[in-house]
Amino acid sequence: MDLKSKIILIYGPTASGKSKFAIKLAKKIGGEIINADSMQVYKELKILSARPFTKEYDKIKHHYFGFKNAKKKFSTGEWLKLVNKKINELKSKKKVPILVGGTGLYFKALTEGLVKIPNIPIKFRTKVRSLHKKLGSKEFFSRLIKLDPLVINRIKSTDTQRLMRAYEIKLFTKKSMYEWFKNTKSDYEQRNFYKIYIDYPKDELIRKINVRVNEMIEKGAIKEVKKFIDLKVPKNMTASKAIGINEIKDYLNKKVQISEVIEKISIKTRQYAKRQITWARGNMMDWNKIKSDSLNKFLKKI
């Protein structure tokens, strides 16, 4: 199997062993690893984001891990621009780019292109949200269908965020969200990619998540959150939404015991993993699904 000419993509739910597998693969084929996880970009979230930092990490070059300040905005578009540049740089050095992470939108932007929808003014978006609140989901959905028939059978009536997004795009740009999608293209041919989805058994994944959360606490997650609080990062910033921050804040404010913190973080992480798996089911049908216990067999075949 010749992977050296490819851009390798590795996706899987949190705690599925993506980072360890990527390092082993990089060693074998002369690769360098590029971050494709929206939380691992922040330097202040080393422990909570489960950023790779083992001894093995130092043996392979890693790019775009822990390089952004939590107070700074960082969009998918910015990520894509940096990654495209890095891919070209690595290719010129005869290195294999290996993108690893659990942020489905990053991979979608890379493989399908990023939709270049004009920025919609905040006041305009607020009006759409107010309308949704006033009408309720059912009536809002009916109005959206009349405004933009292309959403029929594409958005569920219960998917509030996408409904509002579709409404504001059509109203502001006069074009359907799906017309914008249609005109979006990747900078690469699909044959340039080798896509790997790590399929992990549910029960084993739950066990690994529980172990990881306990390890995070042992490694200093509480101290990390204390420092994060001192930074006074606005609540609307992406970094502030990291799983574990609010739970540990409650512990620091003596609202809960540490056992409750661990349980709540574990539950939220399991819910996040479920969303990642659901994303893969709907958006990664053409990816090579490799069961977690077959990863070493895969490496031996290369």
User: Can you give the pTM of this predicted structure?
Assistant: 0.85
Domain 122-182 sits in CATH at 1.10.20.140
29-83 pLDDT, tens digit per residue, is 999 999 999 999 999 999 999 998 766 677 899 999 999 999 999 999 999 999 9
Give the percent of the chain with pLDDT over 90. 87
Is residue 85 over pLDDT 80?
yes
**Domain parsing of the chain, residue ranges:** 7-115+185-201+279-301, 122-182, 203-275
Q: Is pLDDT larger for residue 183 or for residue 93? A: 93
User: % helix / strand / coil in the chain, to the nearest 5?
Assistant: 55, 10, 35
Q: What is the pLDDT of residue 42?
A: 98
Taken in order 51, 53, 58, 60, the sign of the CA dihedral is negative
Is residue 2 over pLDDT 90?
no
| Measured CA distances, 143 to 11, 87, 179, 289 (Å) | 37, 44, 19, 40
Is residue 8 over pLDDT 80?
yes
Give the percent of the chain with pLDDT over 70. 99
255-285 pLDDT, tens digit per residue, is 999 999 999 999 999 999 999 999 999 999 9
CATH value of 7-115+185-201+279-301 in 2.60.200.30, 3.40.309.10, 3.40.640.10, 3.40.50.300: 3.40.50.300
User: Domain 203-275 adopts which CATH fold?
Assistant: Helix Hairpins (1.10.287)
Mean pLDDT in residue range 16-29? 95
Token digits of residue 153: 């059978």
90-145 pLDDT, tens digit per residue, is 999 999 999 999 999 999 999 999 888 888 999 889 999 999 999 999 999 999 99
CA distance 14 to 200: 10
Task: Compute the mean pLDDT over every residue in the chain, rounded to the nearest whole number.
Answer: 95
CA distance 119 to 296: 45
Token digits of residue 168: 């504001």
CA distance 49 to 239: 10
Q: Are the C-beta atoms of 280 and 104 separated by less than 8 Å?
A: yes
Three-state DSSP class for residue 97? strand
Is residue 156 over pLDDT 90?
no
In which band, very low, low, confident or very high, does the pLDDT at 159 lie, cut at 50, 70 and 90? confident
Q: What is the pLDDT of residue 16?
A: 96
* Nearest of 2, 1, 30, 31 to residue 10 by alpha carbon: 31
Is residue 246 over pLDDT 80?
yes
Mean pLDDT in residue range 190-209? 96
Q: Are the C-beta atoms of 151 and 179 separated by less than 8 Å?
A: no
Same topology between domain 7-115+185-201+279-301 and domain 122-182: no
Is residue 11 over pLDDT 90?
yes
